[in-house]
Structure 1
């Protein structure tokens, strides 16, 4: 092999090394640009989300404490604070139905029943309902029904009945839901259905005087 061939081979080998090095640099650059930042961004988002959820939960707990105080003392100032804390929690985590329900309960204490119904509507909407267990969803349906009975006319009773029927399916231990269902059936003159609802209430709570009195009344009629 003469000198020129050796030089050519050396140059070719150097070119191959340079190309391999360049390829390696490109690969690592690609990984850095598209993999590493994504990993840290995802981690940051998860941390940020956890932090937001934690703040929302703190507002929820504070609001629940104010609501409890308001119920014990009948102090509307605490009910107002409960609503404010619930709204802060909702702003941070609108998908948490519990905060919407807390807001509804505070609004109810303040006498704003229509606004309370709207808050529960959001809690039961596709946005937030997945955060509720079945029995919690049943209780939310009962609460909405209870509020609707207080502000709606006779034309809305059928709608309330549908909510209550679903409520007792989801939570068959809610005595108040069975009683309210019985009362609604009475209002639309479905005596047999009312009797069944009151009997179910007594099966859950044998000391339920409201249901017993209703059954006695219906038995005499």
Structure 2
């Protein structure tokens, strides 16, 4: 009788161990493999999209350039279907839409990339570039209505560029700030912004022309 009880107890323990192994042990490695596969697939689509956009920008034939940009968007959409919370596809989509002259849609894509739910996972350099690019698009879409919003983006970009020492992007940010202040009739602030751009990049044509324009007005 005692032997039967021991055997039954051993069988019960073995059964529980098997159930535990089936239900719990595979979860972590399976999830890890799934996440890794999704990341790899997303990166593959984004790499293709980046290559297509590079070719689109350098292609002098408008029809061919737009075809490449549309193909890039198709790759970006595949990436978004796999990783909808990733901000990078939205940044790339904005570039592709801008090449297609869909500036309003390009601006909306950057809004999605810089949304609070996504921006934390965006690398600082990409965030800096996205802020400056969004300001450019805001001015292109509607200067008068969006100039204040553009100033907010550019002021943040200047702060970020100070921490990263990204001189090229900082020059663009200061130049655009100068343009924004000029649009708002703030001549002193505009002049200071163009002067700051020249301190960063003395050979900046945009900064020099802006400073001359403001000084003459």
TM range (shorter): 0.7 to 0.9
CA contact (8 A) 1:94 1:128 kept: no
Q: CA deviation at 1:80?
A: 0.6
Q: Which residue of structure 2 aligns with residue 63 of structure 1? A: 49
Give the 3 Å change call, closer, same or farther, for CA 32–194 of structure 1 in structure 2: farther
User: Within the alignment, does 1:32 sit opposite 2:18 as a pair?
Assistant: yes
Alignment of 1:48-127 (within 5 A): 48-73=34-59, 74=62, 75-127=65-117
Matched position secondary structure for 2:25: helix
Q: CA deviation at 1:35?
A: 4.9
Residue by residue over 1:10-65, the C-alpha shift from the partner in whole angstroms, topping out at 9 and shown as x without a partner, is: x5xx1xx5555545544444443345532212211111111111111111111111
TM-score by length of 2: 0.86
Q: CA deviation at 1:134?
A: 2.2
> Which runs of 5 or more structure 2 residues have no equivalent in the other structure?
none
Alignment of 1:108-187 (within 5 A): 108-172=98-162, 173=167, 174=169, 175-187=171-183
Give the 3 Å change call, closer, same or farther, for CA 35–217 of structure 1 in structure 2: same
| Count of residues in Structure 1 that have an aligned counterpart in Structure 2 | 207
Q: Distance in 1 between matches of 2:77 and 2:20?
A: 38
Q: Distance in 1 between matches of 2:190 and 2:24?
A: 60
Higher mean alpha-carbon deviation, 47-56 vs 147-156, is at 147-156
Give the 3 Å change call, closer, same or farther, for CA 20–70 of structure 1 in structure 2: same
C-alpha RMSD of the superposition: 1.9
Residue by residue over 1:50-86, the C-alpha shift from the partner in whole angstroms, topping out at 9 and shown as x without a partner, is: 1111111111111111111111114210011111111
Q: Distance in 1 between matches of 2:116 and 2:21?
A: 34
TM-score by length of 1: 0.85
> Which runs of 5 or more structure 1 residues have no equivalent in the other structure?
1-10
CA contact (8 A) 1:104 1:116 kept: yes
